[in-house]
Amino acid sequence: MSWQLRLLNAQLRWLAKPHLARTPGPVEADRDLRRSARLFLRQPPYLRHVIRPGGLHWISAGPCRDRKVILYFHGGGYVSGAPETHRGPVARLSLLSGVEVCLPVYRLAQDAALPAAFDDALGAYRALLALGYAPRDIVLGGDSAGGGLALALLAWCCGAGLAPAGAFAFSPWTDLARTAPSLVENARADPMLPVARIAELIDICLAGHDARDPRVSPLYADFPGAPPVRLSVGLTEILRDDTLRMAARLEQFGAQVTVETQATAPHVWPLLDGWIPEARATLRRTAGFVQSLLDDTSR
C-alpha cells in the first residue's frame, strides 16, 4: 500500500464516510458528487468531450483507433452522477487504451426507478449498433452501480446473440437483494461506504421492483457465450462479494474472468487517478485488457 493510499483511506474514513452517512437524500447526493468530481476526479491534458446525435457523450484524450469504442456507465448508486462527473478518469482510460469512450446519460432512480436505467443502457448499445459498430468492436465498462449496469447489459447481449468483445467493471454493484456476506463482514473495514444507508438507497432505486431481476442485479442473470470479463474490487469493501460472486457466476457460463483485488483500496479506486498510484496501475491493466479484446481477430 502506497503512502498516498494510506492517507486517502484515513481521509475517506474521517470525512467522506460520515458525510455519506448523513446525506439527506438523492438530490443532495447528486449535488455532492458533481461538486467533488470537479475537485477530485482529475482530467488529463487535451481532453475532448463531444455530444453527438442521440445525446451520447464521447470522451477521448489522444489518438484513438477507428471504429472501436468503450461503452462506459458512470457510477453513483443510481441516484447521482453523469457523463460530466466521470469524464476525467474515463479520458485517462481512453488515452491509455487508444480507444474512444462513449458515456450515455441514463435516468437516475429519483426520476425513474429501476429498471429504467437498464432500458437507457440498452438503448445506448442499440444506438452504437445503428451507428455501424459491430458487437466485436464494443467493450462494456462501468464503476459501482454503472459496473452493475454494464454487466446487466452484458447478460442481455449474451442472450440476444449480440455479445460485445468483453466487459470490465470497477467495484460493481451486482446484488440489490443484499445477500452479500461482506455487507456485514466489512461494515467497519470499508473506509468509504456506510452500510447503514444501503437499504434506504435500494428502496429508492427499486420503488418496489424485484431486487433479483437480472436487469438490476446481474448476479442472478444468465450469460450464455459470455466474452472475457475483468473485475476489480477492494477486499475491505462492503461490495467485495458483489464482485467475487459475480466472477463465479460468469465462470459458470464459461466466461474467462480476471479479478484484480486490492487489499485496502477503497470503492472505485481507479477513478482517483493522479492521487494514488494504485489508480493509474489499475487503469493501465484495464487498458491493456481492452486492447487485447479489440486486437483479437478470432472474435
The rounded distance, in Å, linking the Cα atoms of 136 and 166 is: 8
Query: CA 157 to CA 159: how far, in whole Å?
Result: 5
Q: Using alpha carbons, list the distances in angstroms from residue 141 to 22, 54, 170, 297.
A: 30, 20, 8, 21
Q: How many CA atoms lie within 13 A of 294 on its CB side?
A: 24
Nearest to 144 by CA among 204, 42, 221, 234: 234
Residues labelled as active-site residues: 144, 237, 267
CB of 262 closer than 8 Å to CB of 9: no
